[in-house]
Amino acid sequence: MDELIEILKDLHSDVDFDTCTTLIDDKILDSFDIVSIVSEVNDRFDVAIPAKELVPENFNSAKALWDLITRLEED
Amino acid sequence: MRTVLDYLDRTAAAFPEKVSFRDEKTALTFAQLREQAMRGGSALLKDGVVREPVAVYMSKTPDEIAAFMAVLETGSFYVPIDDEMPQMRIKLIFENLQPRAVICDESTRESALELAGGAKIYTWSKIRTESADEDALSKVRASMIDTDPCYIMYTSGSTGIPKGVAVCHRSLIDYIESFCDVMKFDENTVFGSQTPFYFDASLKDIYPTIKLGCETVIVPHTLFMFPLKLVEFLNEYKINTLCWVVSALTMISAFGALDEVLPKYLKIVGFGGEVFPIKQYRKWKKALPDVRYINLYGPTETTGVSMYYEVDRDFEDDDVIPLGHPFENVDIFLLDENNKEADEGEICMRGTCVTLGYYQDPERTSQAFVQNPLNNRYPEIIYRTGDIARRNDRGELVFVSRKDFQIKHMGHRVELGEIECDVNSVSGIVNSCAVYLKKKDRIELYYEGRVEEKELLAYLKEKLPRYMVPTKVHKLDKLPLTPNGKTDRKGLTALSEGK
């Protein structure tokens, strides 16, 4: 989780990713960020996020994204 | 045909009740589009707005198109300003443009009041309901000529000051006629509009729609994060034609969305802005083999697309899809360093497509819009693109590289020098170097100075358009130099690529 927060902090240092649950709804993350996140997650966790998981619910908070990564790691 | 308004008049008469432009909330028929243009245009004329630049600072909606047309009705030329542009950039554009009139909507009104200096601000929802003065409008129309400017689009400049490319009606008509022929659009074409209206790629949807009576559906910006939802949207609106930048298409294919759901109405895919990676192209071709795929190439300075290649054969992973052949009435040739014609060299263009030049900027205009070096007999201005291409054994042109430090990122032209200019203007920064990592399609920045990385990045996000903001910034004690004393851009690029 810390490593994920670090990836996110690199993109937006001013956001509190531990508490924010509206990253998409409040337009904090945009399409450039999503592309970066997917590629960083792939590089660092060796997890490929498939198209059907690219939905707002999985990106609205760091926790949701972390749950997704763990779920994909287990598969 | 003298002006693009003739397209609108003709189509509004032929298909008055057909939808022209729509988004999720609103739709405008061709009759409404024309009527609103005439009403809005009359309101501007009443204030004496005629033959001058009018900034249109609105969010991307069908209304914005109506506002463009209203501006044209006054013999003036429109300048799209987007609510997603950073304030600093809008300021620089207004400084160059010096507009007397700005059209805004409710969402941009406050910002327009703040940035527009002495200009009068018009709210579109108000002026579009004023009564149309047909006499005044036809008087202006009769005085218009086809070399009058139609719009100005601002593009990145290496000094940090954006350049306003001014384009006349004749160039736009010349382009749209050839483009519609090549693409074989008709009134059943339904476009999904992806590109911002301040970007000349949007002309590919807007003007065929107005010329032929097609429909353009504005795709919500946020869907470009979520490929499955995006494809579902295309299906919901029965979109059959995409003229998109490559990065928007690869966003769908790279995430494997085409394995889950197909854009089932799709017939034509025009792509441009950058080179389409063959691996991604093949995913599209495999999923949708009956779709026509057409590579579209051309800089803003030659109106829009000047060259095309309809993919008609298979390619290997290490091949490059050619730029192909020029449109009718466009001549393209390659010049080497000695200004001699060659099989590999800078792409140069001749024809009606060559635009009027950079607005209020004779110096930069004269650097790119030059007398044809192959002709010393009469005045003939050509445009030097700065793109290097070669001719393959089939006679097609193939993109090789850029002459300078301009790159293509997410379909946008970016001058690495412009980013550096902005960074170097920050107090405490000594020097900087922006690098582009082609494989990852990302920009990174190296700099030396007293500013913290986070601080600098936050500042750049305020100042630069989103597509120009580096993904990462790296502070160094000293930027590495090449043996002849220049910043070692290649070395730094390799450093980033190795990470």
Enumerate domains of chain B plus CATH numbers: 406-498 (3.30.300.30)
Euclidean distance between CA atoms B303 and B35, whole angstroms: 27
Dihedral sign, Cα of residue B299, residue B316, residue B181, residue B391: positive
pLDDT digits (tens, 9 = 90+) for B181-195: 999 999 999 999 999
Please give, rounded to a whole number of angstroms, the shortest distance from the CA of A57 to a CA of chain B. 11
Which range among B156-160, B169-173, B231-235, B374-378 shows the weakest confidence by mean pLDDT?
B156-160
pLDDT digits (tens, 9 = 90+) for B427-455: 899 899 999 998 878 899 999 999 999 88
Q: Which residues of B touch A34 (CB under 8 A)?
A: 225
The torsion region of residue B332 among left (phi > 0), alpha (psi -120 to 50) and beta comes to beta
Euclidean distance between CA atoms B241 and B50, whole angstroms: 36
So where are chain A's domains?
2-74
Classify the complex by whether its ipTM is higher than 0.90, answering yes or no. no
pTM: 0.91
The 3-state DSSP class for residue B189 equals coil
pLDDT digits (tens, 9 = 90+) for B238-259: 999 999 999 899 889 988 899 9
pLDDT digits (tens, 9 = 90+) for B10-19: 999 999 999 9
CB contact under 8 A, B225 and A29: yes
Q: Which residues of A touch B257 (CB under 8 A)?
A: 51, 54
By residue count, chain B amounts to 499
What integer pLDDT is reported at residue B382 of this predicted model? 98
> Which residues of chain A approach chain B closer than 8 Å at the C-beta?
10-11, 13-14, 24, 27, 29-32, 34-36, 38-39, 49-52, 54-56, 59
CATH number for region A2-74: 1.10.1200.10
Return mean pLDDT, chain B. Answer: 94
Q: Which residues of B touch A39 (CB under 8 A)?
A: 440
B226, B457, B469 ranked by CB distance to A54: nearest: B226
